[in-house]
Amino acid sequence: MVELGIPVVGGSVLLADPRGYCAGVDRAVITVEKALDLYGAPVYVRKQIVHNKHVVHNLAARGAVFVEELDEVPEGAIVVFSAHGVSPAVHEQAAERRLKTIDATCPLVTKVHHEARRFAKDGYHILLIGHDGHEEVEGTAGEAPESITLVERPEDVDLLDFPEDAKLSWLSQTTLSVDETMETVRRLRERFPQLEDPPSDDICYATQNRQVAVKEIAAKSDLVIVVGSSNSSNSVRLVEVALDAGAKAAYRIDDVSEFDPAWLDGVERVGVTSGASVPDDLVQDVLAYLATHGHPDADAVRTADESLTFALPPELRKDLKRAGA
């Protein structure tokens, strides 16, 4: 049995656990790798498969071609949809262009799509808490565009204008700050007491676990380093959560080359974590850098066990089975 919330002793580096890859990212990356093995290059991928520039770079080197929209994909070609999900309009466009699609949408995002469809069918107007322009939000909103209003932050609640008796529900992006989202919901409920909750949390287990872990290390660290790309919502949230939890400073870096040695001036303890789309070798590079810059001892601080895995997309599994792979 693993002890959780281990008391911290000694080390000058606190390494958050869980950190890095979640089940949805792992599945999406393996999907592209297996598609490349099975069908050969090029395999097209709509948008970044996950929001990490190193992952995208490595897959591109193996023959994945990343496109923004489907009109960049030749008719009849193979295209993978990213972990963030797509709207029904994108599925329709793919069918029109006779593309062979492999849907690597994270099952936890798909769950939110189902909730959006169900609420809309039942006559609710959905207040979707999320970031404007994020691919996941575009995909979810596309499930019921006439029935969804985006709410980006708690202050936005004051701007909403619905009749007293409006049938309202809320959903959220999976990678938000848990605390800020709960504050938005609190304000929504204050204004609209009839607000219907989703059947379960939309902020996913991985986002929640990484925020709990970073809170644990941030309160004991002078500096927190979050490894993750700038377009990774959950990585950017980890910096905010670390600062809110008491870290004196927190920075996000894509990799160790962005580490500014001046950040270590006067620092006794460094917390390290990474977003859900970050391969752990990038974190190990940071630990190696810290070891040569006065911080050789790292203690892992585990706040949750993660064992969730997702099966590969069924359309890919079928072809793998047929090929005996």
Catalytic site includes residue 136: yes
Q: What are phi and psi of 198, to 5 degrees?
A: -70, 160
CB of 66 to ligand SF4, least distance (A): 17
CB of 116 to ligand SF4, least distance (A): 15
CB of 276 to ligand SF4, least distance (A): 4
Residue of 68, 92, 96, 136 with catalytic role? 136
Both tokens assigned to 306: 């993660």
CB of 28 to ligand SF4, least distance (A): 7
Question: Closer CB to ligand SF4, residue 221 or residue 235?
Answer: 235
With b for 16 or more beta-carbon neighbours within 10 A and e for fewer, the 98-122 pattern comes to ebbbbbbbbebbebbbebbeebbee
Question: Closer CB to ligand SF4, residue 172 or residue 184?
Answer: 172
Question: Closer CB to ligand SF4, residue 55 or residue 290?
Answer: 55
Task: For strands 100-103 and 148-151, give the pairing.
Answer: unpaired
CB of 97 to ligand SF4, least distance (A): 26
Question: Closer CB to ligand SF4, residue 184 or residue 234?
Answer: 234
CB of 87 to ligand SF4, least distance (A): 17
| CB contact set of 235 (below 8 Å; sequence gap of 6+) | 51, 226, 227, 228, 229, 252, 274, 275, 276, 277, 278
129 near 105, Cβ under 8 Å? Answer: no
Q: What does the binding site for ligand SF4 look like in residue numbers (CB under 6 A)?
A: 22-25, 83, 106, 108-109, 174-175, 204, 206-207, 234, 276
Question: Closer CB to ligand SF4, residue 20 or residue 192?
Answer: 20
Residue 270's Cα: distance from chain center in Å?
Answer: 24
Closest residue to ligand SF4 in the complex (CB) = 24
Question: Closer CB to ligand SF4, residue 25 or residue 238?
Answer: 25
Return d(Cα 308, Cα 286) in angstroms, integer.
26
User: Catalytic residue numbers?
Assistant: 136
